[in-house]
Amino acid sequence: MTETLEYSPYPPIDPINFDLIIVGTGLSESIISAAASAVGKTILHLDPNPFYGSHFASLSFEDLISHLNSPPKYITATATATTDNSDYTTVNLIQQTIFSDAEFNSCNSIEESQFLRENSRKFNLDLAGPRALFSADKTIDLLLKSGAAQYLEFKGIDASLVYNTNEGLVNVPDSRGAIFRDKNLSLKEKNQLMKFFKLVQQHLGGNEDEKISEEDMESSFVSYLEKLGLPSKIKAILLYAIAMVDFDQENGGVCKDLLKTKDGIDRLAQYSSSVGRYPNAPGALLYPIYGEGELPQAFCRRAAVKGCIYVLRMPVISLLIDKVTGSYKGVRLSSGQDLYSHELILDPSFTIPSTPSLSPKDFSLQMLSHVDIKGMVARGICITRSSIKPDVSNCSVVYPPRSLYPDQVTSVRALQIGIESCC
Amino acid sequence: MHGRPRKPLKEEDESVLSAKAEKLHSLQSQFLANHQNRIYTKEALDLSAKLLEINPECYTAWNYRKLAVQHNLSESNSDSDASLFDQELKVVENALKKNFKSYGAWHHRKWVLSKGHSSIDNELRLLNDFQKADARNFHAWNYRRFVTALMKISDEDELKYTEKVIGVNFSNYSAWHNRSVLLSTLFKRKAEGFSHKEKVLQEEYKYVHSAIFTDSDDQSGWFYHLWLIDQTVKNDAPLLVSSWPSHGANITLNGNNSLHGSGLSLLNSTLSDTKTLPVILCFNQAVEGVNSSTVVVKSELLKEDLVWKPLSTNNSSTAQVWVVYLNMGNMKLQLSKTYSIEINIGHSMGILSSNGYHYGAPSQITFEVCVQTAYTEPVDGQRGKLTSWKDNDFRKIDHFEESNPAVSADHHIPTTSNWCMEAIDEEITNFQDLSDCKIRKLTLARLLIALDLLSPQHDKRKNHTEEVLKLYTELMKLDPTHSLYYKDEHSLLLLQQITSSRESLIPYCHYYKDASETNTSYVCLRLQNLSLSRMGSFENLLWVQMLDLSHNELRSIEGLEAMQLLSCLNLSHNKFGSFTALGPLRLLKSLKVLNISCNELGSHSIDTRRYLCSSPLAHSEVFAWDRFEILCGSYSATKFWEAFLIFESLNLTDLNIAGNAVADENFASFIVKVLPTLKLLNDEEL
């Protein structure tokens, strides 16, 4: 990042020995940091960016643009790097951006861009989110248990919408009341859907003779739903809008990620216990009031209270490897300072070049040389003039596979967050 | 508020409870002292407020506060009046917080508000709080109706409110019920947007379907649906469904006072009692206001105004069946002359249904009366004959002597638009989709009955009675807890089927052969062994003089009072558990022969149906205590007072009560005294 050079250099960090050094303030790193500091470890938590959250960050409109526009950085160790301590070899770290490409479409009219610029400080945009949480999600329990929840405020996602080709966007009939109010389901469909919910409730109720058979639990969820004779409209609602399955489950078994019935039931259970868990959040989902970036930040604050040291704008350029054992000893900062710890946690965007200097004994370091890309996700952020659905400002929208175009193999999910509480 | 299990008391709670009781006791005695001495000071009022906060059920305390308000009002100015009432509202609110199901508290609040000194703006907020805590609480809903009327909130707005509440949770019978109440008034005053009842009902059907189909195990929607069916089928205006004599009938009066004749059909009846001729009007619902100006009887025979009597077992002024007795004995009728009688019903306003609708279509009945033999005083001892109910005393009827239908067909429902039938038809189709549950079966049965009721006369052949009877039979097995209800419905429908046409009725009609008079016989309707648990279809049976209902499962004979011509009745081998269940007999003035042997009279120490029946202790009863006490003499009186109430006004000549727990020797000697006309008791001559 070019900006880093503009910041005045830090005084050297003191002390220089830690139990744990964590690089990157993403959600997982922050949780680990909070957990480790809670049990009394000495921790140094670093982030090369001037903000918390790594790619979980929520940024203002301008910050987001400039962040995405900055060229992918390959931090190379400068030749001037001190190599006076001959006990260690240094292995340079390579940091990759988490996105392969970013594209911007600006608004059409001058007034609109003017309007956007004037209001750009009134909202944050999630860098790689958005991440809404189920009210009954374990993360919520973790937030409460760790005490991080005291730094957070949530708002409820009031409506869950699902798209279908015939009716457009409709409310997800996700509860007894919602099924009753639903205007798009036929009477028979209402009956079938509610019956299925009751079946799941009975299954979860724990009465042995009302449980779904073991065989059905191990089969794929979609085939179980088919076995129950549920029509495709209901199946789509259950699979993609409630169980939130990513990939098309019905495309003749070519799906690589078929959901099993037992997992489907778990997801349904989570969804239904989310609805109405908090009286002021009528829907199933919650969203941090100032954006996803609040989540890692809350954990970081929790860790800081317990003594974790935070240094932002501090890239790590290389790892220090013990010459004799070939194992990890510490990190070298871009400021040139060397710091030592027993353990190191790196943000997943870091890799190290595969070099023969690495000891074959240290498997974990070798792992770092792999770049394992499982798949890519296309994300988009739209700033809209009006709501996708009148009268609703915060809502989640699911476009099930094949609902938008025949070759659509995944669900497309969107989260609309109204500006009124996004400062 | 619903479905919370009660926890058993713990030991430590008991000491707390007894301390609480102590405190309550002392408060109560102090309060009563204040009440007796008419002390209405601030301290005394505070004490009663404290008491009510702990125990809102203390009705006396509410009354005391009302007295106190009245007392303090008279000596203060209007400014402090308002604060006086506000104080009352506060006390009520606190009491309701303790127990918001307290009748006394809600009533006190209504009392305060109806005085008109306090602001009502606060009431909706209070209601919202209570309805949030328990959305179904009917006290709150009752109060809501009171407040909205006071605040002049429109019924339309309230209808929207019910929609909101139902939208949150549709298992709220109170909200559905309020909807039906609101719609009823909107329909009645033909409010804007509600003048087309059909359109509104159509929307309501759609609305309630959502509830029923979403959760068919929830009953609240079904109840509302039932109301909708009723609204679709029901004719608001009262109508005459049948009469005796029916239109065009020829009545022969046979003066020798013996029960015989060939009077099977409605049209050509022979009556043995020439002294009085009953005229019976049977309406489709209970009505009031039947009198000589609303029902005009024209005949050369008549000299005086007629007094119509409602046939009701609880002395109410409304009844479904009304009767007048034409006193023929005074009329010096000429033998073999035919007199014509014309009855005009509803040509002037006044006949009203219980919900305020006027009589629908004015109608006219004419019939003829002719006297065959002159009236002679019965010779003493002549009636000592046994009325046998044995099978070989009856003879099947092969054919009718007249071609006229035995059953009047004039009780069709006029002006039913096609829409009603279409609506019911559509409902039936809808419910065919729904998975099978007991309430679906029941609703289907009700819909099919409604459909049959609406279909035009010529379509009656294609009715669904068999199907519905089958549904009820299935329901009895499926839902044993309510099997008595299904059995009642089954019985009523079966009777309707039997009495619906002449052809269906003939197999149940028999000539009764009097053993001694072989050449005369009269017709008995024999409905034994049909597993009937209830009697019905009286509108088709007004002509019956001899009725055999033995070997059924009857527990009640509600409505039997309509059969004013009945002189012989067999109720043996049924399940009558108390004399009170026989209440309708008191209105059968012609009844001479009664067989109630082999029932369960006296077997049940507690009559669980008592609340439905009249009791000697009820205010509505005129109980002849003097006579009762004289008759009872030495033995325990109260044991027989129910029997006394039933038999006291009857003129039975033949009673069989054997085979009942109650019928011991004491009872026999008692009943003989109650019924001086009795010639035969338990088949033995007296």
* Domain layout of chain B by residue ranges: 14-193, 240-375, 418-499, 527-685
Q: What is the mean pLDDT of residues B478-504?
A: 90
DSSP one-letter string for B446-510: HHHHHHHHHS-GGGGGG--HHHHHHHHHHHHHH-GGGHHHHHHHHHHHHHHHHHSSHHHHGGGEE
pLDDT in the model for residue B518: 43
- A180 contacts on B by Cβ (under 8 Å): 167, 170, 210-211, 214-215
- A179 contacts on B by Cβ (under 8 Å): 214
Structural domain total, chain A: 2
- A195 contacts on B by Cβ (under 8 Å): 435
Q: Per the structure block, which two tokens stand in for B31?
A: 């309060």
Quick: pLDDT tens for A11-46: 788 888 999 999 999 999 999 999 999 999 999 999
Q: What is the mean pLDDT of residues B43-69?
A: 89
Portion of chain B with pLDDT greater than 70, in percent: 82
Give the phi and the psi of residue B478 in degrees, each rounded to 5. Answer: -70, -35
B206: distance to nearest CA of chain A, Å?
9
Q: Say whether the ipTM exceeds 0.90.
A: no
Q: What is the mean pLDDT of residues B326-348?
A: 77
A288 CB contacts (<8 Å, ≥6 apart)?
A152, A153, A154, A294, A295
Rounded to 10 deg, the angle between the B197-214 and B219-233 helix axes is: 160
Look at A187 and B213 and tell me if their CB atoms are within 8 Å. Answer: yes
CA atoms in the 13 A half-sphere facing the CB of A276: 10
Which fold would CATH assign to domain B527-685? 3.80.10
Give the architecture (CATH level 2) of B240-375: Sandwich (2.60)
Domain identity same for A266 and A340: no
Quick: pLDDT tens for B248-277: 887 777 654 433 333 444 445 556 555 678
B430 vs A180, A181, A187: nearest CB: A187
pLDDT in the model for residue B137: 86
- B169 contacts on A by Cβ (under 8 Å): 176-177
pLDDT in the model for residue A423: 31
Residue of higher predicted confidence among B272 and A150: A150
Quick: pLDDT tens for B108-125: 999 988 887 777 788 888
Distance CA A307, CA A303 (A): 7
pLDDT at B177 over 90: yes
pLDDT in the model for residue A364: 57
pLDDT at B681 over 80: yes
Q: How confident is the model at residue B606 (pLDDT cuts 50, 70, 90)?
A: low
Look at B215 and A194 and tell me if their CB atoms are within 8 Å. Answer: yes
**Quick check: is A367 in a domain?**
no
Domain identity same for A306 and A191: no
Q: How confident is the model at residue A370 (pLDDT cuts 50, 70, 90)?
A: low
SS3 A29: helix
- A188 contacts on B by Cβ (under 8 Å): 213, 433
pLDDT in the model for residue B269: 57
- Residue A227's domain spans which residues? 155-286+393-421
Look at A180 and B214 and tell me if their CB atoms are within 8 Å. Answer: yes
B133: distance to nearest CA of chain A, Å?
14
**Quick check: is A377 in a domain?**
no
Domain identity same for A252 and A336: no
B211: distance to nearest CA of chain A, Å?
6
Q: How confident is the model at residue A297 (pLDDT cuts 50, 70, 90)?
A: very high
Distance CA B444, CA A18 (A): 77
A176 vs B214, B430, B434: nearest CB: B214
pLDDT at A72 over 60: no
Give the nearest chain A residue to B168 (CA atoms): A177
Look at A194 and B210 and tell me if their CB atoms are within 8 Å. Answer: no
* CATH number of the B14-193 domain: 1.25.40.120
Distance CA B640, CA B412 (A): 45
Domain identity same for A236 and A333: no
**Quick check: is A4 in a domain?**
no
Q: Which of B258, B385, B393 is nearest to B685 (CA)?
A: B385
Domain identity same for A326 and A273: no
Q: Which of B121, B49, B135 is nearest to B90 (CA)?
A: B49
> Cβ(B292)–Cβ(B251) under 8 Å?
no
Residue-level length of chain A? 423
pLDDT in the model for residue A86: 64
A180 vs B170, B434, B435: nearest CB: B170
Task: Give the CATH number for residue A263.
Answer: 1.10.405.10
> Cβ(B370)–Cβ(B252) under 8 Å?
yes
Domain identity same for A46 and A121: yes
pLDDT at B665 over 90: no
**Quick check: is A373 in a domain?**
no
B168 vs A177, A187, A194: nearest CB: A177
SS3 B578: coil
Distance CA A157, CA A132 (A): 8
CB interface of B with A, residues 159-198, below 8 Å: 167-170
Q: How confident is the model at residue B349 (pLDDT cuts 50, 70, 90)?
A: confident
Q: How confident is the model at residue B387 (pLDDT cuts 50, 70, 90)?
A: low
Domain identity same for A279 and A307: no
B662 CB contacts (<8 Å, ≥6 apart)?
B579, B601, B602, B643
A182: distance to nearest CA of chain B, Å?
8
SS3 B639: helix
Quick: pLDDT tens for B91-114: 998 888 888 888 999 999 999 888
**Quick check: is A14 in a domain?**
no
A154: distance to nearest CA of chain B, Å?
23
Domain identity same for A33 and A174: no
Q: What is the pTM of this model?
A: 0.76
Reported as type and span, the H/E element at residue B282 is strand B276-288
Give the nearest chain A residue to B217 (CA atoms): A195
Domain identity same for A281 and A416: yes
Q: What is the mean pLDDT of residues A224-233?
A: 88
Quick: pLDDT tens for B193-239: 888 888 899 899 999 999 988 888 888 898 899 899 888 887 778 88
Q: Per the structure block, which two tokens stand in for A375?
A: 């798949």
Residue of higher predicted confidence among B260 and B24: B24
> Cβ(B536)–Cβ(B495) under 8 Å?
yes
**Quick check: is A375 in a domain?**
no
Q: What is the mean pLDDT of residues B438-465?
A: 79
Chain A CB within 8 Å of residue B429 CB: no
Distance CA A48, CA A59 (A): 15
B208: distance to nearest CA of chain A, Å?
9
Task: Give the CATH number for residue A64.
Answer: 3.50.50.60
Chain A CB within 8 Å of residue B214 CB: yes
CA atoms in the 13 A half-sphere facing the CB of A362: 19
Domain identity same for A182 and A96: no
Domain identity same for A279 and A163: yes
Domain identity same for A170 and A282: yes
